[in-house]
Amino acid sequence: MPDPVLDIVDVAYRWPGRAGFSLTVPQLSIAPGEAVLLLGESGSGKSTLLSLICGTILPDEGRVRIAGTDTTTLSGGARDRFRAEQIGVIFQQFNLLPFGSVLDNILLPLRFAPLRRNRVGSAVGEATALCAALGLPPDAVSAKATALSVGQQQRVAVARALIGKPPLIIADEPTSALDANSQAAFLDVMFAQIETHNTALLMVSHDPRLGARFDRVISMYDIAQVERAVA
């Protein structure tokens, strides 16, 4: 079995300044190319878990291994660089810089990830191809980000996450801002692309109906414990 793309072992995190509020994740592992749906209500600690995976916060204990590297041993700047190289991130909404063009937005992570940039070859060509594959209109690349519909913006976010083929994509409720039809269409094109690129996907949602498309469905309640001090 190949090395997992994400491997979390015995991670514990306490929020600074909020005594008694802590998150522990004993074990979470994702294989390369695997699509995992993580279900959790708001307040279940999933945002914190995503921050731990992305390395914007450090666990107090345990280790977070991404593509074979323990990110907890890296310095802050190195973790930011590592994130840029290894992880594509898709937010719930407002993914794009409103003042940039679609192309600016797609190429943004490459600016911080020289290795990923070198993997791409022709960045503009790759961005254009991804846009086409994600069903965006041909002239969308040069359009201003805010000129697109919300659904189109989410597709641009997928293109941005996929460019340069990072091994892992983190998506935080990417469909919650879309209506039911758009959701299905969005998931169709996203899955087609992550399968093409053999990218692992960790998608967070509170909607269990999406589960059928994923290789595995896990719940925050099963993998993590959140403790809150009783006031």
Partner 1 sequence: MILRLAIASLFARALTVGMTILAIGLSVALFLGVEKIRTGAKASFADTISGTDLIVGARSGSVQLLLYSVFRIGNATNNVTWDSYLDIAGRSDVEWIVPISLGDSHRQFRVMGTTQAFFEHYKYRQGRSLAVSDGVIMDDLFDTVIGADVAATLGYSVGDPIVVAHGLASFTEHKDQPFRVSGILDKTGTPVDRTVIVSMEAIEAIHVDWQNGAQVPGQSTPADAIRQMDLTPKAVTAALVGVDSPLQTFSLQRAINEYGQEPLLAILPGVALQELWGIVGIAETALLAVSAMVVVTALIGMMATIFSSLNERRREMAIFRAMGARPVVILAMLVLEAMVMAAVGALLGLVLLYGGLVVAQPILDSAFGLWLPIEAPSLREAWVLLGVICAGAIVSLVPALRAYRMSVADGMMVKT
Sign of CA dihedral 53, 129, 149, 109: positive
The distance of closest approach from Cβ of residue 96 to partner 1 in the complex, given in angstroms and rounded to an integer, is 7
Task: Return left, alpha or beta for 62; rule: phi > 0 is left, psi -120 to 50 is alpha, else beta.
Answer: left
Any contact of residue 100 with partner 1 (CB under 8 A)? yes
- Candidate list 10, 97, 198, 215; residue touching partner 1; CB under 8 A: 97
Burial track 111-141 (b if 16+ CB lie within 10 A, e otherwise): eebeebbeebeebeebbbebbebbebeeebb
Any contact of residue 112 with partner 1 (CB under 8 A)? yes
- Candidate list 37, 38, 44, 85; residue touching partner 1; CB under 8 A: 85
Give, as ranges, the residues between 114 and 173 that touch partner 1 (CB under 8 A): 160, 172
Length of the chain counted residue by residue: 231
Q: For residues 76 and 208, which CB has a smaller minimum distance to partner 1 in the complex? A: 76
- Looking at 100-108, 147-155, 177-185, 208-216, which segment touches partner 1 (CB under 8 A)? 100-108
Any contact of residue 107 with partner 1 (CB under 8 A)? yes
- Candidate list 26, 43, 68, 98; residue touching partner 1; CB under 8 A: 98
The distance of closest approach from Cβ of residue 81 to partner 1 in the complex, given in angstroms and rounded to an integer, is 6
Any contact of residue 32 with partner 1 (CB under 8 A)? no
Largest CA distance in the chain: 56
38 touches 203 (CB < 8 A): yes
- Looking at 18-26, 107-115, 199-207, 218-226, which segment touches partner 1 (CB under 8 A)? 107-115
- Candidate list 71, 95, 175, 199; residue touching partner 1; CB under 8 A: 95
Give, as ranges, the residues between 42 and 81 that touch partner 1 (CB under 8 A): 47, 50-51, 54, 56-57, 76-77, 80-81
Both tokens assigned to 127: 């961005």
Q: For residues 98 and 211, which CB has a smaller minimum distance to partner 1 in the complex? A: 98
Name residue, tokens 């790759």.
126
Q: For residues 81 and 119, which CB has a smaller minimum distance to partner 1 in the complex? A: 81
- Candidate list 2, 19, 99, 209; residue touching partner 1; CB under 8 A: 99
Residues of this chain that interact with partner 1 (CB under 8 A) are 47, 50-51, 54, 56-57, 76-77, 80-81, 83-85, 89, 91, 94-100, 104, 107-109, 111-113, 160, 172
